[in-house]
Amino acid sequence: MDFKYTSRSENDTKELAENIESEKFPGMIICLNGELGSGKTLFVKGFANALGIEDDITSPTFNIIKEYLDGEAELYHMDVYRVEDNYDSVGIEDYFKRDGICIIEWADMIEEILPKERLDINISIAGENTRFLTLIPHGEKYEELCRSVL
């Protein structure tokens, strides 16, 4: 079952991320997909802020993975847009086995290595400030998460 959410502002997107963060659990994996400028990094900023991470959150486009270790839980922020088929050399799959939280931008580009249980969030631009977010839970704990925040 898919869940729909309409964000009418940056604050709405951050608030959704904060609500999802409030239901966090070890090993959580969130996969963000959407065109450039749709709000993927903004979502991560809201999530990180709710975790108590004070660092400036930017897209790790050239780093691929940024680790934030000073919040309530470890956050691994990934941008796999430039990874192509070289994900083995980056060690992305190793992060899926940790207790921290992985948030992956452009996750559809590495779909073949993503864990079966995860939360996919597809973001589409519907206007200058409006975004349609489709949350697709894979696994029972992600379904429960969606039911509790939407």
Which residue ranges make up each domain of the chain? 3-149
Three-state helix/strand/coil letters over 56-92: CCCCCCCCCEEEECCCCCCEEEEECCCCCCCHHHHCH
Residue 131 CB coordination number (10 Å): 23
CB atoms within 10 A of CB 97: 8
Global pTM value:
0.95
In CATH, what number does 3-149 get?
3.40.50.300
Q: What is the pLDDT of residues 64-101, one digit of tens each?
A: 999 999 999 999 999 998 876 666 657 899 999 999 99
pLDDT tens figures, 107-134: 999 999 999 999 999 999 999 999 999 9
